[in-house]
């Protein structure tokens, strides 16, 4: 069959906001492909620009709200 999906949040919310909303209102912790990807499938809605000027600060584990964040280019 064909893949069917729905959204219970605003599509422009970053992973943390979506997951917190879903847990509080729908009582589940989402671990879909987008929530599991540090770049949010390339949308980078939740990433930050690194002060180094060239890198992007990403969560190491986007499913862990307490995860460390680091630049993809800085050591």
Radius of gyration of the chain (CA): 14
How would residue 6 be classed by pLDDT, with cut points 50, 70 and 90?
Answer: confident
Cβ–Cβ < 8 Å for 54, 60: no
DSSP one-letter code for 69: E
Q: How far apart, in whole angstroms, are the C-alpha atoms of residue 33 and residue 18?
A: 13
For the question of whether the overall pTM of this predicted structure is more than 0.75, the answer is yes
- CA 55 to chain CA centroid, Å, is 17
Q: What is the pLDDT of residues 13-56, one digit of tens each?
A: 999 999 999 999 999 999 999 999 999 999 999 999 999 999 99
In the prediction, which pLDDT does 62 show?
96
Q: Would you list the domain boundaries of the chain?
A: 15-71
């Amino acid at each position: 069959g064909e893949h069917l999906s729905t959204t219970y949040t605003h599509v422009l919310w970053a992973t943390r906001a979506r997951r917190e909303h879903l847990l509080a209102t729908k009582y589940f912790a989402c671990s879909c492909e987008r929530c599991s990807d540090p770049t949010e499938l390339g949308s980078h809605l939740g990433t930050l620009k690194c002060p180094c000027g060239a890198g992007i600060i990403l969560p190491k584990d986007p499913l862990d709200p307490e995860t460390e964040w680091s630049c993809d280019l800085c050591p």
